[in-house]
Amino acid sequence: MKISFLLHNAYGIGGTITTTFNLAQALAERHEVEIVSVLRHRGRPNLTLDPRVSLRPLVDLRRDKEHPSHLRPARVFPRAEYRYEQYSELTDERIGECLATTDADVVIGTRPGLNVHLALQAPRHVVRVGQEHLTLDNHPPRLRTALRRAYRRLDVLTTVTEADAAAYRRKMRLPGVRVAALPNSVPDPVLPASDGTAKVVVAAGRLVPVKRYDLLIEAFAVVAAEHPDWQLRIYGKGEEHDRLRALIAELRLWNNVFLMGPAAPMEAEWVKGSIGAAASNFEPFGMTIVEAMRCGLPVVSTDCPYGPGEIIEDGVDGRLVPVGDREALGAALLEVVRDDELRRRMGRAALENARRFAPEPVVGQAERLFTEAVSARRAGRPVAPERARVGRVLISQGFAARDAAFGAAGSALRIVRRQQG
């Protein structure tokens, strides 16, 4: 079948772009795949795209920035969506024309505003798949209202965690829409896994407030005090850089904590460490956690909404600690640093347990979803006949209760929208 992804800007850097490229590349093994980038601002993508995946932009900002239609506000793209100011009458027109003329069997939207376009404008013969890369509770009420109206016309809605899928089933009530969790995948490593002997803790991601690198640095101070030969290496760039550097100086951790800057690919840096770390207040999924585990690192992480608890098995392949608890984070790091055998055992478990996020099983899930939806569409059957049963199973597993507990936290953490790629 032909599969088309509708992406905000394939030429930038961000988690959604990375996961879209990964999934597109894996699907291209057996299908015709294209990525349609609404915006383009440079000649080549920052990330490497498999040559089997075609890429075409709709609005090239290098020449269309002053186009009269681009200076007028969008009417289809929802006003409450974070990226609204980057959309326009011109993007409305180009997206609408693209969807009206597509020859794809399946079109996949990759952010809420694009999912609205897809739901409202794709022809009926196309299977419409909306992807959620944040969470329902992260969206402001006005956007949730717009999504509730539009999403009823989707065929499939995927979330990156079971907790968020349960939230969509319970709160949005989308009859006929199949809501399914489809985690992000991480490509198979090409380097030998870490052997757990390096005295290095590794963290990676954008240096932004929600990632709480300040908390991680403060927690690592207790590790450095007891084990001064251990290092913390933080990879990434962002607005928090100068503040974090000042904190390192204040805590006199010059010889232990290093801001390494961005690195791509990160695999070569993960395997130089023995422990991965994450201290976020909020993680819709936790891509860096999976990356670290796929390189053989146990990960010490805050148990924040929504992803870490669905990736890490506490005490088996890593440790989970309460959000914002510096003492608990420091104690968990110390536990894994002190015990060489525990660290190596957890690393082996991480390597094994993270295989479920390899391209093959994730793409297999995606293919089944898309194939079943295409077959149902062609046969005139509803795409989600088992939605109620699946929802009951998930509730019985406790995901609904977990989501309810996270709801209040999610409303206070909407700042993460500023960090979405």
Using 50, 70 and 90 to split pLDDT, how confident is the model at 386? Answer: very low
pLDDT band of residue 199 (cuts 50, 70, 90) is: very high
**pLDDT single digits (tens) 139-158:** 999 999 999 999 999 999 99
Q: DSSP secondary-structure letter at 11?
A: T
CA distance 32 to 52: 8
Task: Give the span between the Cα atoms of 185 and 187, in whole angstroms.
Answer: 7
H or E segment and range at residue 225: helix 213-226
pLDDT in tens, 91-137: 999 999 999 999 999 999 999 999 999 999 999 999 999 999 999 99
Query: How remote is the C-alpha of 75 from its chain's centroid?
Result: 27
Structure tokens, 161:
């965690």
- Is residue 200 over pLDDT 70? yes
Q: Which residue has the higher pLDDT, 294 or 306?
A: 294
Cα angle, residue 12 at apex, residues 359 and 96 outer, rounded to 5°: 90
CA distance 165 to 157: 9
Regarding predicted confidence, which is higher, 349 or 388? 349
Tell how far CA 79 is from the center of its chain: 23
Q: Strand, coil or helix: what is 321?
A: strand
The one-letter amino acid at 215: L
More confident of the two residues 8 and 396: 8
Q: Give yes or no for residue 390 having a pLDDT over 50.
A: no
As given in the structure block, the two tokens for residue 353 are 């347990």
pLDDT at 408: 36
Mean pLDDT of the chain: 90
Q: What is the pLDDT of residue 387?
A: 42
Domains and their CATH numbers in the chain: 2-185+362-419 (3.40.50.2000), 200-356 (3.40.50.2000)
Residue pair 206/419 in contact (Cβ under 8 Å)? The answer is yes
Element counts in the chain: helices (H) and strands (E): 16, 13
CA distances (Å), origin 367, targets 3, 36, 74, 85, 186: 10, 20, 33, 34, 17
Read off the tokens for 421: 């790629």
CA dist., res. 314 & res. 319, Å (int): 5
Q: What is the pLDDT of residues 172-191, one digit of tens each?
A: 999 999 999 999 998 899 99
pLDDT category of residue 383 using cuts at 50, 70 and 90: confident
The per-residue pLDDT for range 364-374, each reduced to its tens digit, is 999 999 999 99
Helix/strand/coil for 310: helix
Tokens encoding 221: 């101070």
Span 31-67, pLDDT tens digits: 999 999 999 999 999 888 999 999 999 999 999 999 9
Asked if 208 and 281 count as a contact pair (C-beta separation under 8 A), the reply is: no
All residues at 6 or more sequence positions from 260 whose CB lies less than 8 Å from its CB, including other chains? 233, 234, 235, 269
Residue 384: pLDDT band with limits 50, 70, 90: low
- pLDDT of 405 > 50? The answer is no
The residue type at 222: V
Question: Rounded to whole angstroms, how far apart are CA atoms 2 and 34?
Answer: 8
Q: What pLDDT is recorded for position 35?
A: 98
What local confidence, expressed as pLDDT, does residue 417 receive? 39
Contact of 128 with 114, CB cutoff 8 Å = no
* Angle subtended at Cα 152 by Cα 148 and Cα 153, rounded to the nearest 5 degrees: 130
For residue 405, the tally of other CB atoms under 10 A from its CB is: 11
Q: How is residue 361 written in tokens?
A: 């099983």
The stretch 216-228 carries a mean pLDDT of 98
| Residues 24 and 54 sit within 8 Å (Cβ to Cβ) | no
- Whether 178 and 157 have beta carbons less than 8 Å apart is answered as yes
* Alpha carbon 231 to chain centroid, angstroms: 27
